[in-house]
Amino acid sequence: MLRTRSTVAAVSLLALAGLSAAPAHADQLSRGQQQVDAFFSQYLTSVTGQNQDGTPLDVRAEYLTGRLNQQLDRYQQTHHADPVFRAQNVPDSWSTQYGGSGAGHTTVILTENWGGGRSTQVWYQVELSDLAIDGLEDPPA
């Protein structure tokens, strides 16, 4: 099931109103998607200078585990690209999709949409217990 930013916002509003749009298990999955969406949105606005509350590193520190931040620092040094966007520029838009779950984690597939119709997938791993993002990688080959 594909969830765009507006769909996630609608589910969030339903949850705040005490309404259930899906079973409890699906709620956990949507919470993972919501967490990835919130991280990506704040990260993007910090990179573009529209987030006055923090730098990209501040946003990463808030949402990502320390181990993942270290991995992203190495990615940036090796690839000379933004480690979250996996590119040197900023995507036009994005969407999230459930990618599976197990062992206390959920996988969220974030699709970045670029000019000219290109898209790139980045796979996120989210701990269900505290919603910390502890994995971010290119899709499996």
> In Å, how far from its chain's centre is CA 113?
14
List of the chain residues with pLDDT < 50: 1-26, 28-29
> What's the Cα-to-Cα distance from 51 to each of 37, 100, 131, rounded to whole Å?
15, 31, 22
For the chain, give percent helix, strand, coil, nearest 5: 45, 30, 30
Alpha-carbon distance 50 to 12, whole Å? Answer: 23
Could you tell me the CATH number of the domain that includes residue 34? 3.10.450.50
pLDDT value of position 81: 95
Domain total for the chain?
1
Model confidence, pTM: 0.79
> What's the Cα-to-Cα distance from 12 to each of 1, 44, 85, 97, 141, rounded to whole Å?
16, 21, 25, 16, 33
pLDDT value of position 36: 97
Range of the domain at 128: 2-137
